[in-house]
Structure 1
Amino acid sequence: MTSMPKFPSVAVCIPTYNQAQYLIQSVSSACCQTYPNVEVWVSDDGSTDETPQVMEQLCQQFPQVRYYRQPKNLGIAGNNTWLMSQPKTDFIVRLDSDDALMPNYVEKLVSLLQKYPEAGYAHTAIQEIDEHGKNHAIARVVRKKEFQNSDEALMAAVSGYRVAANIIMFRTKALQELRYYENRPEYVEDYDLSVRIADAGYGNVYADEVLAKYRVWTDVKKTRSKRKHLQLRGYIRIFEESFLPAFQRRGWDVKVLDKQRRKMAIINSAYCFLPIFNQEERAELVALLKQLGDSPLLRLRIVALSLGFAPFFEWQLHTEIKLKGFVKDWLSKLKSMSLVKAVG
């Protein structure tokens, strides 16, 4: 068995679609890493803005950049599958074109993946920024161990995608085994991949250090909310095609999956009653909610939402999310203080 070289090769893969205004920061952050062996790939999924002109300038500025413009729009999963299957490197970073890496991101995560050869991917704490680049909250994953084995990761994933943000360094071998996002759900393809990686026997490693910037932008046109049907269909596929077979292979009780499906249906119900949806769209979303996790409580919630209680349930959900973020940050700071005292 040959040992990995001192500086394994890394490709930063940046899928993009109509985000020309953020590309300079994103691509530059990938090109200006402290790590010496990085190539940068950008796949433009048929953008209609100034992306080609911006990329022409960036290719002249940074010789390690490889830019490809798709002749037709492939969608999120299709574009990512094409892009991430191109490099022949040891590791692959997925970086969305409105996000950015800290200069030592690659160096730190290559070191962690070398330390834990059983890990299929590595992830970190992140700095949230808005559409103007202004810093907001720091997002972290609260867990006790740096490395999480495959069974632990699989069970943890039942409650959701267990990363601070979808800025990930993958072991290329793991991606190749699973054929990337090929024929997988659109819009929640990242969550689905994490489940399949755990099912394949790979753990993951987490650095509780802010090593990337994740853009949380105001969706004025409600574009993301309009994709709710894709999200719900994706969740259904993840539980039926990824989680269920994985649990059955291990002889695990699948009741926990049914319980989580019902919980997710209730959590997502308020979004389906936003005024941006017409009557036909709402009927489709309600049917998908019931397919995801039907229950008497969901049906009661749907009645309440149809009577105009959506703003209250949305406020309740946002409050819970903010409270969880506060607790995570507080626990992480407490952990850091304990480590400092231990070293002292």
Structure 2
Amino acid sequence: METITSPAHPLVSVIIPCYNHGRYLIQAVESVWLQHYPNVEIIVVDDGSTDNTQDILKGIPGVKNIYQRNKGLSAARNTGIQQSSGDVLIFLDADDWLLDHAIETNLSYLQWDKNLAFVSGAHEKFYVDSNERIVVEQQVNADHYLHLLHGNYIGMHATVMFRRWVFDKYLYDESLKACEDYDLYLRITRSFPVFHHSNKIAAYRIHQKNMSGNTRLMLSSVLKTLKQQQKVLKTAEEKQAYRSGYDTFKKYYCSLLHKELLSGKKPLRSLRILALLRYQPMWMLKLIKIRYLNVEKNVEKDPS
């Protein structure tokens, strides 16, 4: 693809981190090629994959292929930033894809208001097991930092288009194993204007290996991310939004964790037990009681 920057068509860098998602990679890249926009560079950062990612990349022309030892998603994105040349940046995971006119739509909003640090839109979830699609959209017209304290209304990072100057001020926090995108949104919206709309931008593939499926990791990461905002909260409204968001996230992920353990889908491992004991101790005690009663019933049925 030709990559010549002009005021009408600034260069768009699409950064695709990939860790053992080689089988999805071609669809992600093709979704960028199919955009109705003439000035794009695609950068794939292979974060130490052990699958066939490198073999697949060798068969994809016109893509900048960067290999690094496994450092995690945040580090892979930061590498992509350093290796990119675009005026605006998009981060697309290898197992997701952009929808039609995604680049044009987001870019039109950035060109409409030159002060925006980023623009974000709606997305659709695609459930691999059931082949179901669900549109996820939320109306947020102002007070974006406050709304983000209440919860991550953006939901999917591929719907976000950033201006390059954002990354002169901020990078992804490589100490976070999850919720690094949420952390970045909070830091940006604390200081700069952004815009959110309800046009669908990207598709989020839901499968068994999604990081978001690790409930314990998501619980600890999102609460750590929110806690980092405590030191910059100023108004009573911000502090209330923080408390509301913290409580909502805690109840949501603890509820998921409790259901997983109750159903037997996840084993009673020490880290999961400690997470429930720390954030919802009564739920953990009830779970132990239920497990104990089930064992008692089974003993009664089979006294041998």
TM-score range, shorter chain: 0.7 to 0.9
Aligned to 1:246: 232
Cα distance 1:57–1:159, how it changes in 2: closer, same or farther (>3 A)? same
**3-state SS of 1:254 partner:** helix
Q: Do structure 1's residue 153 and structure 2's residue 144 form an aligned pair?
A: yes
- Which of 170, 195, 202 is 2:193 aligned to? 202
Determine the C-alpha separation between the residues in 2 that align with 1:11 and 1:51. 20
Asked if structure 2 preserves the Cα contact closer than 8 Å seen for 1:266 and 1:301, the reply is no
Q: Do structure 1's residue 191 and structure 2's residue 189 form an aligned pair?
A: no
User: Percent of pairs identical after alignment?
Assistant: 23
Aligned to 1:211: 201
Counterparts of 1:105-144 in structure 2, within 5 Å, are 105-131=102-128, 134=131, 136-143=133-140
Aligned to 1:163: 154
Deviation at 1:19, TM superposition (A): 1.1
Determine the C-alpha separation between the residues in 2 that align with 1:223 and 1:106. 25
Aligned to 2:26: 24
Counterparts of 1:1-344 in structure 2, within 5 Å, are 5-59=7-61, 63=62, 65-70=63-68, 72-131=69-128, 134=131, 136-143=133-140, 145=141, 148=142, 152-167=143-158, 168-178=160-170, 180-206=171-197, 208-217=198-207, 219=208, 224-225=212-213, 227-241=214-228, 243-248=229-234, 250=235, 252=237, 254-273=239-258, 274=261, 275=264, 276-286=266-276, 289-290=278-279, 298-308=280-290
One-letter amino acid of the counterpart of residue 36, structure 2: T
Q: How many residues align?
A: 280
Deviation at 1:201, TM superposition (A): 2.0
Deviation at 1:222, TM superposition (A): 8.7
Determine the C-alpha separation between the residues in 2 that align with 1:308 and 1:223. 29
Cα distance 1:90–1:111, how it changes in 2: closer, same or farther (>3 A)? same
Determine the C-alpha separation between the residues in 1 that align with 2:175 and 2:163. 19
The TM-score with structure 1 as length reference comes to 0.74
**3-state SS of 1:92 partner:** strand
Deviation at 1:118, TM superposition (A): 2.6
The TM-score with structure 2 as length reference comes to 0.82
1:311-332: CA deviations, max 9, x gaps? Answer: xxxxxxxxxxxxxxxxxxxxxx
Aligned to 1:338: none
Deviation at 1:251, TM superposition (A): 6.4
Determine the C-alpha separation between the residues in 2 that align with 1:132 and 1:271. 19
One-letter amino acid of the counterpart of residue 236, structure 1: L
Asked if structure 1 preserves the Cα contact closer than 8 Å seen for 2:276 and 2:283, the reply is no
One-letter amino acid of the counterpart of residue 244, structure 1: Q
Deviation at 1:244, TM superposition (A): 1.4
Determine the C-alpha separation between the residues in 1 that align with 2:122 and 2:181. 17
Deviation at 1:258, TM superposition (A): 2.8
1:166-192: CA deviations, max 9, x gaps? Answer: 2121111113211x2134422111111
1:23-59: CA deviations, max 9, x gaps? Answer: 1110111123211111000001111111111111112
Cα distance 1:266–1:53, how it changes in 2: closer, same or farther (>3 A)? same
Gap runs ≥5 in structure 1:
291-297, 310-344
Determine the C-alpha separation between the residues in 2 that align with 1:162 and 1:222. 19
RMSD (Å) for aligned C-alpha atoms: 2.5
Deviation at 1:84, TM superposition (A): 2.3
Determine the C-alpha separation between the residues in 2 that align with 1:254 and 1:209. 31
Cα distance 1:66–1:223, how it changes in 2: closer, same or farther (>3 A)? closer
